[in-house]
Chains A and B, each alone.
Chain A
Amino acid sequence: DAGVTQSPTHLIKTRGQQVTLRCSPKSGHDTVSWYQQALGQGPQFIFQYYEEEERQRGNFPDRFSGHQFPNYSSELNVNALLLGDSALYLCASSLGGDRAGDEQFFGPGTRLTVL
């Protein structure tokens, strides 16, 4: 039973560039949430995708956007990168519908460094 996978593991970009991060949820899960974790802090909720739509969003600017595919995998896109976007980006997998709000499982994360 495959767990949550994320790619790439590490990424280095320069200010102003754009980045795409990828996530495959745990087998049987249909909901993906994205979090940003700065060093020394807890994860911060970016948004949640279910049935290929953004269902909930945290306090992040429009530079952060996402997509969910029919196979439930998801992408996080960040445009016009800032130094402050450097963080560990975590994907969490769960079940939606009537099960929404139950436990979620995290992937290992993608470490993004913006220079």
Chain B
Amino acid sequence: GESVGLHLPTLSVQEGDNSIINCAYSNSASDYFIWYKQESGKGPQFIIDIRSNMDKRQGQRVTVLLNKTVKHLSLQIAATQPGDSAVYFCAENIVPGTYKYIFGTGTRLKVLA
């Protein structure tokens, strides 16, 4: 299939290590944020979300941190596995109460065996 993110920033991580992917968002009024994973030839897959009234949310092996002061979002993946290799996007809801999302530029995660 075609490649997603041919010239994206790349994070290379050893299998079993933790990964941290960062994102700067644009609108201080955004109230809802989502991290998506996109594998080659597929649509984005929902990973985890967080609302602006929280600063941390944990899922299975993933944690999202939100710092509204500096408009920064991060995704932490614990014990990274080969199946985690993909392009990761953050998305912000710039018009609360709608689905008007802005996506970040994306980061390619490469898991080294």
Contacts and interface: CB of A to CB of B under 8 A. Distances in A.
Interface of A: 4, 31, 33, 35, 37, 39-45, 48, 55-56, 58, 88, 90, 92, 94, 100-109, 111
Contacts, number: 77
A103 B5 CA distance: 23
A104 to B, nearest CB: 6
A45 B49 contact: no
A27 to B, nearest CB: 16
Given A39-B2, A40-B6, A90-B43, A48 B100 contact: yes
B62 to A, nearest CB: 14
Nearest to B93: A101
Interface of B: 2-8, 31-32, 34, 36, 41-46, 49, 89, 91, 93, 95-106
A103 B95 contact: no
B105 A48 contact: no
Contacts of A33: 99, 101
Contacts of A45: 99-102
A41 B105 contact: yes
A109 B54 CA distance: 32
A6 B75 CA distance: 29
Given A40-B6, A44-B103, A101 B98 contact: yes
Contacts of B98: 48, 55-56, 100-101
A105 B103 contact: no
B98 to A, nearest CB: 5
Contact of A107 (B6, B7, B43): B43
A97 B83 CA distance: 36
Given A106-B44, A108-B43, A43 B99 contact: no
Contacts of B49: 103
B2 to A, nearest CB: 7
